[in-house]
Chain A
């Protein structure tokens, strides 16, 4: 299990050091600093073995988090724990920075004592933790409160406490997708997938039981079989094939496995209900057509066309195209039809920004790049052209069919809950080779 946990600033100074096991000594703290943080070369692995001690590290802005062990621990769990710890800290004091860590070091020690016992991760849901660990020390609790806290921390529904009340029952559901693409210069899709998240904000009273439905092909097909054939064929068209999905721990997995229904008692406030991945029938919102021509040894002509490929009534936003340029670029002349374009020497790229673009349109940029003659034999690697954008639909085609809320003990029904649904499609790694 985890033997020790350390937080360092970018200089390698220790901000937090908590040792759980005897086999990790103070010298381990220094070993990691010397061998990893101060190492000249680039970090080649997130797991390093230094003098028979294994270190797992992640970096958040300028802060290093490292877990040390001398046993054969579950490596995946250690990383998951480090991320979780970041989440918990963010939930308490916002961005993880040297300043914030120093300002909250007492709190962090308190948290570490609670969420990691003898190196075994314990309940680490911020919602539950906040009921008894606060930044102002522990508030005095009545006996009922105390037992409520302990039963919640250890309970089956560790992510929600009893007795939540809202005057207005409301929930927000965001389908957030990032569409990833790797395209060959000839326009062939080398790989494409959508990784999506269903993010919820729920402000519901009591212990509501929720059921979430979407146009999952397997569910629709099953219902289609049960209902009339017509319906099946009709709805089958709009359904999507989900390659795989994972759920927040509130979702009853065995029920999903047997009936493919998503039912849960939601945490209060913000949380991520599910993640999913699709690869079939993805709507690629943009197509990038690059044309690069080397004119002699000192000049490069680049033309890039982007085409929007969705309903004309919809608007894409925050469009950004990054066209990499060689290291020996001396000057760039740009002409673009829409938006603004700029050569950024620091990034070795031309950045072309377009605020809005409707569907079924196209736009183009042409650039003349002048190069300094070099003796460097190494050829320019021609990194891919990448793109950022935001569109108001789900490129996977996912649709929310329903989200039902039942709270048998309190007198509000599904109809009384105000529900908001939003679809946001974003670019993930959206690259076209040139």
Chain B
């Protein structure tokens, strides 16, 4: 048998040699006509040859659509090969010739009834690929039959066809009930049918994010797990990818699923392995960590991941990108496997770079010697990118593992001795970071660095070197000469270098004032007078003024102690990491971007998240699961950069000027000479001079450093450093905060409690506190790179306040908050800057109260009480909208005179009256009246008619609009009726809602 098959194949090969390839070479003119003739030939062989030629032309991109009728005519044939060729043609051109494509329908329908299951399947498969609306109608009946075909081969093909049809006409699929049939196929006896049905359903479900299409419950899961053992490798992938979307009910269920998935880790197909890893990584979150099984599972994960590295290089690349994520989420899995990530000489460059990344993540005190030895090897290789990355890696090791710092520095010095230009430059950039991390420890190397000054031609390296010279000017005898040498070509330097040079010379001047007066004059005039760059000019002016006004203060500012830099860099932001873990194996995990970033349309927009076991609160925890890699100090997360700087500079977040002059109260600063610059810059400086670094603060790259500091965060791309420095003066605008004047506004819960107490008493005559809605989440952390804002509105003794809780759920410190409102219906605007004095550490939350005024710009919003807010911090600007209760705007003097009330009531036309029902309210009229008064809704009169209490009430909005109300309360009837009259009837709806919330709370 076997031999026969081989022989057959060989014969075929022989026979076809020098035949088929010739179709690729015919390029003469008039070809179409010739083909037409051949297609209509009587001879079968000639016909077939002609169709082959057509397909070949199609492949190379020639337009052969003109032959459509002739090709379709060949469809009626017993020759399956010819039939398949015609189908191939049809799939390509049907769309451009929809009317003619109809001609083919009959054949399809006939073929769907054929005795041969292969032909039935072929017909239904092809029909699904002909994406013409008119054809889909004819497809429904054959498809329905095929979904219930006796032959599994036809059923599995039909299952995929449902997904095809859904892609063309989703409504049709739903109307025809195909989705239910597809769901039934999950219980099919044939594993491959199950797998294809799962794949089709998963795809359809993606475009209906909220449908319960893939109704995963323990029974279906069980069916899937059974099919998993029996179907093809591809089917196993579909099933595992689908399983990963399931959320087990409890830890026991997730353990039992894990147990049934782990055997897949030994599959020869890497995709099966990675998809199994995804399921395990996800379901592990549910397992309690003290469970024995949890430990067993962790151990089981390492070997298959390592094995992936012996696959083909392309697969290695995908595996490494995923391991990078896994290592960040659960460093313990691979902590002993450092050696397998050592780079091989013949690895493709993309594998090398990825391995290097993982090596640094796994570096710890235990293995640092080995790692360093390797990195030193790599630094002598050929590929420039790789060498640079290796040099950076040495620097990162120094910062990460303190014990190794000394060895790293000496390794870097060795590398500098090689005099390879890009190695030297890269080394200097990382040494600067090492200086930041270990101040006053390795300054002995400065002399060596200075020797290489001339060879530096990259801005980043030049800037780093200048920073070093400025920072350690007192120890470098010829610092002035060195800096002066840079000054000669000042205008040819990049902005990054110019800014750095300016700062360095000012530092030098403050350290050695006597010899460098001239130099500092020179640089200040270069920066302020001869430069077009506003950032540079601004920074120059600030220094100038500082120096001329108060050199002592200048010293304090410019030579202030710098915050330390953190040790982990390039970490993926935790919410993104969680999402990516749910996408292990997919493109998202390769790009390290959420699917929404590269997939268009509705697909992939859903954000997946890990679900952790109830009560363990693990997902909130940083991934510090007992590893040395992530220490207790929260690592800085560098968010994706994008055009952050642009955003910050364009969006003016200065608090409105109507709130009075910005506070200028920074300790140790006298800013007397500000009038020179006029009001605008005036406030800028005032705000800029924030209090000296607060201990809590760590250096995050986007934090607007006061311009005197030269920030050198441990990350490397020139755009980042540029953004950092360049952005600082402008970014600081308006974020300084007066340390005094913290309004005592945190008594909300207490007054709420009192409210309740009074409520119980049901007492009359007492004025009650304002109703304060509970805080709700306005800005979820997912949308704001880890910043969660929840809040509410309060009116207390005539002042409206926005009370917020800012919760930092990211891994980096957040600082420099500012807030601004969009124009809104009642002109609400912040009455002062947002007062958040200290940066918020990860997992910390801070309460803030923002007094509001009602004199801001007005624009009608829908709904009326909608408020759009922009909040900025050092990371980005975020937008959200919230709704305030309209009672915030009711004035304390809203009680109308009785007579006036009567007159006004009559005066307002009846069409302005609106009536509402308030249901299920169990207060008596007195209690209601009291409660409402707390919200500045005043009862003017009360009348009782036939056991029904009528309350006449008034309220006055901040913009002077009066609202009159008649509230009818019948004893024993929980439903109130309210009539509202107002000259501006638009507010009625809001007022009614407010009644409802106040009365029911």
* Residues of chain A having any CB pair with chain B under 8 Å: 1, 13-17, 19-23, 26, 29, 42, 44-47, 49, 52, 54, 56-58, 69-77, 79-83, 92-94, 99, 102-106, 109-110, 113, 117-118, 120-125, 130, 132, 134-138, 141, 143, 146-147, 149-151, 153-156, 158, 164-166, 182, 184, 190-191, 193, 195, 203, 243-249, 252-254, 256-257, 268-269, 272, 274-275, 277, 377-379, 381-384, 386, 429, 431, 433
Contacts and interface: CB of A to CB of B under 8 A. Distances in A.
A16 B377 CA distance: 43
B946 interface: no
Given A103-B19, A117-B160, A377-B420, 16 more contacts: A72-B587, A76-B274, A76-B275, A80-B271, A83-B312, A93-B13, A106-B55, A117-B157, A118-B129, A118-B164, A123-B192, A124-B232, A135-B13, A182-B344, A257-B266, A277-B303
Contact of A118 (B56, B163, B373): B163
Top 7 A-B pairs, shortest CB-CB distance: A244-B303, A135-B12, A150-B153, A137-B81, A102-B21, A257-B263, A76-B271
B663 interface: no
Given A76-B319, A106-B52, A246 B12 contact: no
B338 to A, nearest CB: 10
A158 B603 contact: no
A191 B340 contact: yes
Nearest to B273: A246
B599 A244 contact: no
A154 B152 contact: yes
Given A44-B349, A123-B232, A190-B342, A154 B266 contact: no
Contacts of B148: none
B598 A431 contact: no
B856 interface: no
Contact of B599 (A72, A203, A429): A72
Contact of A132 (B118, B273, B598): B118
Q: Which of B52, B88, B588 has the most chain A CB atoms inside 10 A of its CB?
A: B88
A261 to B, nearest CB: 13
A72 B603 contact: yes
Interface of B: 1-2, 5, 8-9, 12-13, 15-21, 23-24, 52, 55-56, 59-61, 79-82, 84-85, 87-88, 92, 115-118, 121, 125, 128-129, 131, 151-154, 156-157, 160-161, 163-164, 167, 190-193, 196, 199, 203, 229-234, 237-238, 241, 260, 262-264, 266-271, 273-275, 303-304, 306-307, 310, 312-315, 317-319, 339-340, 342, 344-346, 349-350, 370, 373-374, 377, 380-382, 418-421, 583, 585-591, 595, 598-600, 603-604
A1 B312 contact: no
B21 A103 contact: yes
Contacts of A277: 303, 306-307, 310
A154 B153 contact: yes
A125 B234 CA distance: 11
Given A191-B342, A253-B266, A75 B590 contact: yes
B61 A110 contact: no
Contacts of A72: 583, 586-588, 595, 598-599, 603-604
Contact of A76 (B115, B315, B600): B315
Contact of B167 (A22, A74, A76, A379): A22
A169 to B, nearest CB: 13
A141 B263 CA distance: 39
A200 B975 CA distance: 83
B339 A191 contact: yes
Contacts of B161: 118
Contacts of B380: 379, 381-382
Contact of B381 (A70, A134, A381): A381
Contacts of A110: 81, 84
A164 B1 CA distance: 7
A94 B154 CA distance: 31
B240 to A, nearest CB: 9
Main secondary structure, interface of B, reads helix
B585 A79 contact: no
A70 B16 contact: no
Main secondary structure, interface of A, reads mixed
Q: Which of A165, A272, A383 has the most chain B CB atoms inside 10 A of its CB?
A: A383
B306 A244 contact: yes
A433 B381 CA distance: 13
Contacts of B421: 377
Contact of B585 (A77, A141, A203, A382): A77
A331 B440 CA distance: 52
18 contacts: A74-B271, A75-B587, A79-B271, A104-B16, A106-B20, A118-B160, A120-B199, A123-B192, A134-B8, A138-B80, A143-B115, A146-B116, A193-B340, A246-B266, A246-B267, A377-B421, A429-B344, A431-B344
Contacts of A151: 152-153
A272 B267 CA distance: 12
Contacts of A73: 586-587
A257 B304 CA distance: 13
A243 B88 contact: no
B268 A249 contact: yes
Nearest to A190: B342
B57 to A, nearest CB: 11
Contacts of B273: 246
Given A103-B17, A136-B15, A257-B262, A429 B310 contact: no
Nearest to A18: B88
A383 B345 contact: yes
A45 B350 contact: yes
Contacts of B18: 103
Nearest to B120: A150
A209 B238 CA distance: 28
Contacts of B269: 80, 249
B750 to A, nearest CB: 50
A273 B24 CA distance: 40
Contacts of A381: 380-382
A247 B306 contact: no
Q: Which of A134, A138, A244, A257 has the most chain B CB atoms inside 10 A of its CB?
A: A244
A269 B55 contact: no
Contact of A378 (B19, B163, B275, B420): B420
A289 to B, nearest CB: 19
Contact of B339 (A26, A92, A150, A190): A190
Contacts of B125: 113, 117
Contacts of A121: 234
A49 B600 CA distance: 13
B234 A120 contact: yes
A147 B152 CA distance: 10
